[in-house]
A and B are shown apart, each in its own frame.
Chain A
Amino acid sequence: MHIVDGALSNPVVIGGAIAAAGGIAMGLRSLDLDRIPTAGVLSASFFVASLIHVPIGPSSVHLILNGLAGLLLGWAAFPALFVGLLLQAVFFGFGGLTVLGINTLNIALPAVLTWMIFGRLIARGSAIQGAIWGGIGGAFSIAATTAFVAISLAMSGDAFLPAAKLVFFAHIPVMGIEAMLTGFAVMLARKVKPELFKKAVLT
């Protein structure tokens, strides 16, 4: 779901960069130096998780897990996911340079929204209830990400509307998979390390 350089119009790119800078600043303020190791290790593990390919029918999809990142990191998801995107662009050639801002916004803002909406819900009730809320949160963050990508394409010109719609519908199976995986990951975390979401690692 990376947008590349040259596809978007200038106002979208500049607006995205400014908004992403704001989000990153919010995230950095929430990170005192004691918490940097946790945020760094989590950022690295989401980077690794995004390379896992999960089979679906004859093909496979790679994970994004930005919902889970938001649930664990809160606002710090902004800098953490930005670092991931920066490393992917520089060393793997995925995405682009001028679009780093808008790409960060499209992935990290849904993560933060997921944390705001579902953060308390997943810590309440039984592990199964938490898992179900986690699953809904996982699907929500992918839906929001694709919607943001579609909006940034659509705002850059009507010619991108079909591509924007295609992006959205192509990601419906991804939503399902992310929902299941996030749900089970939350369930495991609730059972193995119950204090994890209670503390809300980095709020």
Chain B
Amino acid sequence: MAHALEPQAKTLAEAGGSEPYGVIADLDPRMRIAITCLFAVVTVALSSIPSLLTALSVSIGLLLMSRLPIRRTLKRMAMMDSFIIFMLVLLPFSMHGDTMFTLFGFAASWQGFWKAIEIALTANAVILALMVLVGSMEPVTLGHALHKLRCPEVLVHLLMFTIRYIEVLREEYLRLCGAMKVRGFRPGTNWHTYRSFGYLVGMMLIRAIERSERILDAMKCRGFSGRLLLLQEFNLTRRDYWFATMMCAICVSLLILDFQ
């Protein structure tokens, strides 16, 4: 699915190669999702720098345990940082407090600086834990696990369809792009480009709708009665309980560290 992001990119689950995953991959997906949510809520509730640093190191520890490709995972995390960097740079200047330094007559405050650091640490800790614990699953497993966690059935089906068709539609998009290229299309900042891209998007959507009609016909032909069966079974083992207990203990100690 991550081909969509960049050529040859893989989801973290596919990227590990032949090496079997570390400790994380053997854990029950449902438990991984639940623990990630708990960890995210606790981390967002933290407000002191030491406790946030600890939270981030817990995420990095999970990354090491998971034996995911470290550089690629961290690079993906850094991609998110590039989105928020402007907001973080602005914060010291827009928050009032003790002056740290002055730039072109604008005073940067320590309070704003620490607030920016706090946000950056929280965001990175949560997203890294999310990618390591949940993002390392097969996308389809994620759907099954969410179903077992009592997510609405229709929402899970929608998720499964989306996962299934992202790759198909991306190929269609590339085919249309190729067709434009052989006809000499080169994108630029002009009316022609925007019109062509608009037609491209329109064509993609029309084809998608026609495809979905064919899919529904094919499903009905095979006896689709409005229910999809999700067959994957999960079971909690002793290791899952150990991991869950450890993570809960970590969350509690993070909160204690924060209150001190």
Contacts and interface: CB of A to CB of B under 8 A. Distances in A.
B33 to A, nearest CB: 10
B160 A40 contact: yes
Nearest to B196: A184
Contacts of B44: 5-6, 13, 98
B110 interface: no
A132 interface: no
B104 interface: no
Interface stretch (B17-25, B203-211, B240-248, B249-257): B203-211
Nearest to B188: A55
Contacts of A31: 154, 158
A36 to B, nearest CB: 5
B80 A39 contact: no
B90 interface: yes
A42 B208 contact: yes
Contacts of A84: 162
A158 B111 CA distance: 13
B149 interface: no
Interface residues of B, number: 84
Contacts of B205: 42, 45, 68, 72, 185, 189
Interface in B147-161: 152, 154-155, 157-161
Q: Is the interface of B mostly helix, strand, loop or mixed?
A: helix
A51 B9 CA distance: 14
A43 B161 contact: yes
B157 A68 contact: no
A161 B155 contact: no
Given A31-B154, A48-B169, 14 more contacts: A4-B80, A28-B154, A32-B226, A34-B216, A43-B158, A43-B162, A45-B204, A55-B189, A65-B201, A86-B159, A93-B79, A94-B79, A159-B112, A189-B206
5 contacts: A32-B226, A41-B212, A44-B163, A97-B126, A160-B87
Interface of B: 1-2, 4-5, 11-12, 36-37, 40-41, 43-44, 76-77, 79-80, 83-84, 86-87, 90-91, 93-95, 112, 115, 118-119, 121-123, 126-128, 130-131, 134-135, 139, 142, 152, 154-155, 157-166, 168-170, 173, 187-189, 193-195, 197-206, 208-209, 211-213, 215-216, 219, 226-227
